[in-house]
Amino acid sequence: MENINIPPLKFRPILKSAIWGGEKIAPLKGIVTDQKQIGESWEISGVKGNESVVENGPDAGLTLTRMIEKYGAALVGEPNFQRFGTTFPLLIKIIDAAGDLSLQVHPDDELAMKRHNSLGKTEMWYIVDTEADAVICAGLSSPITPEEYVEKVNDNTLMDVVAHHKSKPGDVFFLPAGRIHSIGAGNLLVEVQETSDITYRIYDFGRVDAKTGKPRELHVDLAKDAIDYNVYPNYITKPQELGEGMSELVNCSHFSVWKLTVDGTRTFYPQLDSFSSMTCIDGHMTIEDDRGNKVEIKAGESVLLPAMAKKYTLEGKGSLICAVSVPKVN
């Protein structure tokens, strides 16, 4: 590994328009585009057909999957390479909802593997900005049975038992597989999730597909066995302050996520044998690794820090959402 030198990597964002998408992502990133209703920017993705492409350094032009094939554990860390091979285990997005997203749920790893030969999807949201009266739907407010769930979908009363939360910047929502959820209009957020594109849409506000003119497909029966029907006392996660501008947002069996605030110079020592993703939500800074490789990052941009580097120096002013992969131990 001594002869390998992978700099911090930046990727071309994959911008996706959606029926509910807004106009905030391009200005956040400082880019000019004719694309409208951009609902998502896939920042770091190994999803087949939507793979991120490196835009800096000697490997510019290579896909993330090709990078893992080339560098293996030096890029993603030995535990991730052993567990996932050349599949990048996380998907990092920025999401801008000008309209309500469909109410949906994702299967867990076991069910997703059985049905789709795929990982499930546990995810988290960090709220970057909100408009007045923005709401996040997450979890159930009243207990229901699988049979009652089907009845409520059919008579359009399912939203009556879904927990609604008024959202504000800094809120954190942890969404384990099985939890019903929806992003309401007026939310701008960072999403960290398992690499999976398996979604069961269960309510869509009666909207029609712009291309077909028909209501978008629902997955009521598939979702029935995937939903967690329990009611929990709190659906908003309270960050754990760690001091020195660092707070732990989520720590689960799939990933850990922190918020890191920089004002001046900070040294960052990765504690796990894993890559680190960093998504800048405000400000501008320079990241330098222990081999002298430098990259600049500003609001709306993301960087992938290879596992091989054991120290990073951050200089500037701003805030970052940082994520690492934590594979399950079988």
Domains of the chain: which residue ranges?
A: 9-224, 240-325
What is the structure's pLDDT at 14?
97
Q: Is 201 a catalytic residue?
A: yes
Cβ-proximal residues to 89 (8 Å cutoff; 6+ apart), any chain? 46, 76, 80, 83, 119, 194, 195, 254, 255, 325, 327
Amino acid 328: pLDDT: 63
Q: DSSP letter for 63, please.
A: B
* Sign of CA pseudo-dihedral 18, 39, 16, 204: negative
- If you classify domain 240-325 with CATH, what class do you get? mainly beta
pTM of the model: 0.95
Residue 205: the pLDDT is 85
Catalytic residue among 201, 207, 216, 266: 201
pLDDT at residue 292 greater than cutoff 90: yes
- Kindly report the backbone phi and psi dihedral angles of residue 320, in degrees, each rounded to the nearest multiple of 5, phi listed first: -130, 145
Question: Residue 269 above 90 pLDDT?
Answer: no
> What ranges in 10-158 are assigned the alpha helix state H?
25-29, 64-71, 73-76, 78-84, 109-116, 146-154
Is pLDDT at 2 greater than 80 in this prediction? no
Q: Which CATH architecture has domain 9-224?
A: Sandwich (2.60)
Predicted confidence (pLDDT) at residue 119 exceeds the cutoff of 90: no
The candidate with the shortest Cα–Cα distance to 45, out of 199, 258, 195, 192, is 195
pLDDT at 329 over 80: no
pLDDT number for residue 121: 93
Query: Cα separation of 97 and 120, whole Å?
Result: 23
Cβ atoms of residues 225 and 233 within 8 Å: no
SS3 114: helix
- Cβ neighbour number for residue 208 with a 10 Å cutoff: 12
Q: Which residues face 189 on adjacent strands?
A: 95, 127
Average pLDDT over residues 46-70: 96
Mean of pLDDT values over 83-103: 96
Nearest to 314 by CA among 278, 276, 266: 266
Mean pLDDT in residue range 155-166: 96
Contact 156, 103 (CB under 8 A): no
Q: Do 9-224 and 240-325 agree at the fold level? A: yes
Contact by Cβ (8 Å): 79, 273: yes
Mean pLDDT of the chain: 94
Query: What confidence score (pLDDT) does residue 214 get?
Result: 87
Q: What is the mean pLDDT of residues 181-197?
A: 95
Model pLDDT, residue 138? 98
